[in-house]
Amino acid sequence: MAGWAIAVHGGAGVDPNLPKERQEAAKKLLTRCLTIGISALRSSMSAIDVVELVVRELETDPIFNSGRGSALSEKGTVEMEASIMDGAGRRCGAVSGVSTVKNPVSLARLVMDKSPHSYLAFSGAEKFAKQQGVEMVDTEYFITEDNLGMLKLAKEANSILFDYRIPTVGSESCGAAAEAPPMIMNGLPISVYAPETVGCVAVDGEGRCAAATSTGGLMNKMIGRIGDSPLIGAGTYAGELCGVSCTGEGEAIIRGTLARDVAAVMEYKGLSLQAAVDLVIGKRLDGGGKAGLIAVSSKGEVAWGFNTVGMFRGCATGEGFMEVGIWD
C-alpha cells in the first residue's frame, strides 16, 4: 500500500514585507486545514473527498482569495471559480462566475458527480446550484472590507492584481528583496496588495490522487474574466500519477498548461514528481509569467515550486513529514 500525502496552498506571490501578523494568521489557517486533511487521510477518506473538505475550509475563512474574501471584479462584484479532479478515472468538474454559492468547490464536485458535463458557468452554474440544493448566501457575504480597500487601490493604480505587493512601511521583512520590482501583466502594472487563491492536492493510502483549486480570480478583473483555476489542465489536474493545483498569474498558467504539463512529463518522460515540477516552473512560464504549484504523486511524494517571492503552502506525508511555509 502506498503512503498518503497532502499539500495545500493559499496562493503564490506575497509581498516580501508582508506584516508578521498576516504571515502568522495565514500559517495558522494553513496548519489547521492541513491537520483536517491529515486526520481525514488517516481515517481512510478518499483523496477526492479530502481535497473537497480542505478547500471548503479555506473558502469559508476570509484570509485567502476564495469563497468569503474573494477578489472583486472591476464592478466590485464576486465571480468565483473552482475546479476539482479525481485522478482515479480522471473525472472532473468546474464552475465559473458564481456569486451566491457558499462553497464553489462543492458545486464543482456536483458538476462532476451529478451533471452530464465538466464545466458550468454564470447563470447556468447558479441554476444548477439551486437544483442541487447547495448552501447559497447573499452575495455580500463574500465581500470583505479589506478587499473593498484593495479594489480602490487597484483602481487608483489602474492595475489588475494577483499578489501581495505593497511594501508595508515599518513592517518586518522576510529577508527577501525589500522592494520587489514592479511587474507587468498583459501590459498593465501589478503593484498593489491583493488576496490569493487556494488549492489542495492529496494522495490517499490506495494511491489515488486528487486536486482542487478555488478562487475569486484577480482583483479588479474584467467582468466575465476566467482564469486558470477552473480550467482542467491549466490550474488543476489529477491523473494516475499525480495531482496538481496551481496559483499565480492565471493568463501565464493557461498559456503554459502548467498542471497537465507536470503530469505529462511524468507520463511521457518518466520524470520524478519534483523533477517534473522544477521543469514546468523553470521552462513553461514564458514572458516573465509568475506562478507556483503544489503536487503529490501516487507514490506518496509531495512537491512544490514557484518563481514568485513566496507561496503560502503546507504539506505532509504519511511518513511523518510536515511543513508550513511562505518563503523559498
Q: Which residues form the interface with ligand ASP (CB under 6 A)?
A: 11, 65, 162, 196-197, 215, 217-218, 227-229, 247-248, 250, 253
Q: Which single residue brings its beta carbon nearest to ligand ASP? A: 250
- Least distance to ligand ASP from the beta carbon of 206, Å? 30
Amino acid at the residue 206: E
- Least distance to ligand ASP from the beta carbon of 197, Å? 3
| Active-site hit among 100, 144, 168, 197 | 197
Q: Render the burial of 41-58: b for 16+ CB within 10 Å, e for the rest.
A: beeebbbbbbbbbbbbbb
Which one, 55 or 241, has the nearer CB to ligand ASP? 55
Which one, 17 or 236, has the nearer CB to ligand ASP? 236
Which one, 159 or 215, has the nearer CB to ligand ASP? 215
Which one, 159 or 229, has the nearer CB to ligand ASP? 229
- Least distance to ligand ASP from the beta carbon of 261, Å? 16
Which one, 6 or 218, has the nearer CB to ligand ASP? 218
197 is catalytic: yes
Which residue is it, cell 516552473?
Answer: 281
Contact between 214 and 81 (Cβ < 8 Å) = yes
Q: Is the dihedral of CA 181, 184, 188, 192 positive or negative?
A: negative
Which residues are the active-site residues? 197
